[in-house]
Amino acid sequence: METSKIKDVLIKQIKEGASSEYWGETYGKEDLDALVQIEDTILKNNGYKTPEIEDFNQKIKKIFGRIIDNQSENSYLKIDRYYKCDKDLEYYPTYMGFDYVYVAKKHNFITRFEPLPAILDYQKIYPEVLKYEENSYTIDTADGEIEVSMWKDFDDLPQERYFNKQRLISRNKYLFNDDKSQFPWLVTHDEFFIESLVTTFGYTEDKKLLKWVMEKNYKKARDFIK
């Protein structure tokens, strides 16, 4: 995707604001394409070694139990941690309450579907888009006219961006580069995801992860029966 198209997607998202409950069907494949293009650069700049197609496909099958069809016209594979049998490809951002994992088949990494302002320092990289946040927007809803929240007004947005980037880097380097130095961060800050690899998807080849999950759940059981 060209830089100009990424900027177009960014402008669209900024105009839609940060209130996810009013996004409706406005996010789609184009938004995910733009995100993946940005994240591909983030990963490479942080030492991610893109695995070969066959190696990546085998890892996805071992970890998530899903088979990648590289001949399919679909660029993504959606993984639902709550309903493993749900394989329909839908484009719903995480902010809308959907915690899907998307497999980027053309780039060989996994991602959540974040809005661009939640991972890109757009105010620094694209200062020309700041004009779209100069004036507030209102939209008509069933509850009447609502003022849209602006991304620029979120004081903790820089911290959220940092966290989202680190989660992206740690997940992919740990799972696909066998970078064990990412393990402490994942079990501390991304506990539900890393545990679900064992408890939801049945991935047991990583013995260190398996041991951590077993000890964690054993402690939970002991605390429960006290």
Residue 86 has pLDDT above 60, yes or no: no
Assess if residue 210 is contained within a domain. Answer: no
Place of tokens 């959907």: 98
What's the total number of domains in the chain? 1
pLDDT class of 96 with cuts at 50, 70, 90:
low
Residue 223 CA to residue 200 CA, distance in Å, equals: 22
Structural domain includes residue 15: yes
pLDDT score at 93: 80
Q: Radius of gyration of the chain from Cα atoms?
A: 19
Phi and psi of 206, rounded to 5°?
A: -85, 100
Q: How confident is the model at residue 210 (pLDDT cuts 50, 70, 90)?
A: very high
Q: Which domain holds residue 40?
A: 3-180
Question: Does residue 93 form part of some domain?
Answer: yes
What mean pLDDT comes out for the span 97-108?
90
Give the contacts of 129 (CB within 8 A, at least 6 positions apart): 7, 10, 11, 14, 122
Which pLDDT score is estimated for 137?
76
- Residue 13 covered by a domain: yes
- For 213, phi then psi, to 5°, come to -65, -45
Alpha carbon distance 95, 87 (integer Å): 20
Please give the Cα distance from 158 to 163 (Å, whole number).
9
- CA–CA–CA angle 73, 77, 83 (5° rounding): 140
pLDDT for residue 35: 97
Query: Looking at residues 48-69, what average pLDDT do you find?
Result: 97
This prediction's pTM: 0.90
Cβ partners under 8 Å of residue 88, min gap 6: 78
Assess if residue 187 is contained within a domain: no
Mean pLDDT of the chain: 89
Element (H, E) at 199: helix 191-199
Task: Using DSSP, state whether 138 is helix, strand or coil.
Answer: strand
CB 183 within 8 A of CB 174: yes
Q: Which amino acid is at 78?
A: K
In-domain check, residue 221: no
Task: Return phi, psi of residue 135, to 5°.
Answer: -120, 145
Supply the pLDDT for residue 87: 64
Short-list 38, 180, 22, 184, CA closest to 111: 38
pLDDT for res 36: 98
147-199 pLDDT per residue, tens = 888 999 999 999 999 999 999 999 999 999 999 999 999 999 999 999 999 99
Query: How sure is the predictor about 224, in pLDDT bands with cuts at 50, 70 and 90?
Result: very low
Residue 31 lies in a domain: yes
